[in-house]
Amino acid sequence: MLLGVLTGCTTPVASPAASTPAPGPPAAELARFYDQRLVWTDCDGAECASLVVPVDYADPDGPTFEIAVLRAPSTAEARGSLVVNPGGPGSSGRDYARAASGVVTDALRDAYDVVGFDPRGVGASAPVDCADDAEFDLLIATDGTPDTPAEVAEIERVSAVLECTSSVDGLVDHLSTADAARDMDVLRAALGEERLDYLGVSYGTHLGATYAALFPDRVGRFVLDGPLPRDLDAEELTLGQALGFEDSLRRFVAYCAAEGDCPLGDDPDPEVGLARLREILDALDTQPASTGDPDRPLTEAAATYAILMSLYRVSDRPLLRDALASLASGDGTPLQRLLDERTGRQADGTYRDNSFDAFYAVSCRDRAAPGDITASVDRLSSAAPFLGEYLAWGNLPCAGIEVTAPPQARGAAPTILVVATTHDPATPFAWADALVAQLGDAVLLVREGDGHTAYREGSVCIDESIDEFFLDGALPEPGAVCD
């Protein structure tokens, strides 16, 4: 059912960005970083540069390292730089900027140089290493719903394998989102921008909101798509995602039944299909499915992860449906293949980047893990019966790691545009109001639909509204809904 029609979707209200005071100068001890100018070199059709930043901003005379930056130059005459972040944490901002033609519209490609950077610890920016590829395979495949003492002991053993290291002295202790936000402000200065224009999706909204808290007077036009509030602890985040993915899973089951000949049955009640899916997954707990690789059968945990990864995009629904049909007949190969494609696992058993490593290294320092994991499992199992237990055990690798306190807001930033999708599995719609409230001055734009994030996902209304904000400073009416 629609939450609304497209009323007000493109009705502009004035942006107050131009009335904010000019940014203050950086601290004197950081001047050598802020005084940098990027030297661009050819980079396979784009332009690449390196940015020097301190490992610890409280010790600017200490160790430094380089942040890798990529720019896709404007296709016309650039009005400035638009910095983009694809989320994660752990995803490459350089790869995201390289794919600029799919990330933003042609109108924004004409107007902006699209710039992405690999956040500290990610990709080409002093990549952190937390485990080898075989250990990540094991972490994915290990029983995520342990129901015997031996299974609990095994998941505890496997989770303890993760131990992050870096070739840069001290970097592992400075991988929080607040550290990355400080790097982003140095990047802003190196780009020659007085204020930062920014598009962040998913975790990138958390990075953007953290930047706005630290540097409110340097915020330009910010769009945060797929909102992730800054103040959630790990259990609160996990519960929100468990509920979001369960909602999306029910909607997938309803789609599958409506298509007919569904491997989960054709009953229009999604609870019936979910019960059948639970039977299929439970069977894998005792007998993993064949994948053609005797050393890597499809376990219950791996199948569950594959299903979740296939809920991010509506376009994956037919693939997931067919893979579940094969699994119901005993063949786990298609679902394993979907999982490998979504996680970047290659045919030789290696992963194409260090996104898993960076995900844990950053997440564990951003959000406090539950002190009692078994009590947390009980709470989440009760609140989200299908996925709560599985996702709750996923917090175990972060247990006992010291968390970096999130920064307090230093003042009011200009109005920020927050965009949320009503049936987003990974950043559930309920988080939108929380992030808007945290920002203090923000406008919410709603996409009625399924899938993760909204921009460039098929809604002309969403795309035009975001473009109008970036190009003209025109905000949609608060709460405007796009179909």
Assess whether 452 carries a catalytic annotation: yes
Clarify whether residues 349 and 429 are in a common domain. no
Clarify whether residues 237 and 348 are in a common domain. yes
Give the Cα separation of 65 and 68 in Å (integer). 10
Clarify whether residues 330 and 437 are in a common domain. no
Give the Cα separation of 442 and 219 in Å (integer). 12
Residue 237 forms part of a structural domain: yes
Clarify whether residues 414 and 370 are in a common domain. no
Query: Which of 345, 379, 398 marks a domain boundary?
Result: 398
Clarify whether residues 173 and 312 are in a common domain. no
pLDDT of residue 410: 85
Domain assignment of residue 435, given as a range: 17-127+168-230+408-482
Residue 111 forms part of a structural domain: yes
Distance of CA 232 to the CA centre of its chain: 15
- Catalytic pick among 452, 459, 463, 467: 452
Clarify whether residues 245 and 304 are in a common domain. yes
- Catalytic pick among 137, 316, 424, 450: 424
* CB contact at 8 A, 459 and 449: yes
Clarify whether residues 193 and 316 are in a common domain. no
Entry pTM: 0.94
Clarify whether residues 251 and 345 are in a common domain. yes
pLDDT of residue 70: 98
Total Cβ atoms within 10 A of residue 282: 11
Clarify whether residues 157 and 272 are in a common domain. yes
Clarify whether residues 313 and 375 are in a common domain. yes
- 328 contacts: CB under 8 Å, gap ≥ 6: 263, 280
pLDDT of residue 212: 97
Number of residues assigned to the chain: 483
Residue 84 forms part of a structural domain: yes
Residue 3 forms part of a structural domain: no
User: Looking at the DSSP assignment, which residues form a beta bridge with residue 113?
Assistant: 81
CATH value at residue 474: 3.40.50.1820
Residue 103 forms part of a structural domain: yes
Query: Which of 398, 423, 441 marks a domain boundary?
Result: 398
Domain count, the chain: 2
Clarify whether residues 147 and 199 are in a common domain. no
Query: Which of 380, 398, 416 marks a domain boundary?
Result: 398
Assess whether 202 carries a catalytic annotation: yes
Give the Cα separation of 418 and 200 in Å (integer). 10
Select from 41, 71, 17, 48 the least CA-distant residue to 197: 17
Residue 471 forms part of a structural domain: yes
Clarify whether residues 284 and 323 are in a common domain. yes
Phi, psi of 409 (to 5 degrees): -65, 135
Residue 466 forms part of a structural domain: yes
Q: Describe the crossing of helices 373-383 and 234-259 by its angle, rounded to 10 degrees.
A: 40
Give the Cα separation of 188 and 302 in Å (integer). 40
Give the mean pLDDT per block of 10 residues along the chain (483 residues): 30 36 69 97 96 97 98 95 97 98 97 98 98 95 95 95 95 97 98 98 98 97 97 96 98 97 96 97 96 95 98 97 97 98 95 96 95 96 97 95 87 93 98 94 97 97 98 95 93
pLDDT of residue 200: 98
Residue 215 forms part of a structural domain: yes
User: Looking at the DSSP assignment, which residues form a beta bridge with residue 36?
Assistant: none
- Catalytic pick among 125, 202, 355, 363: 202
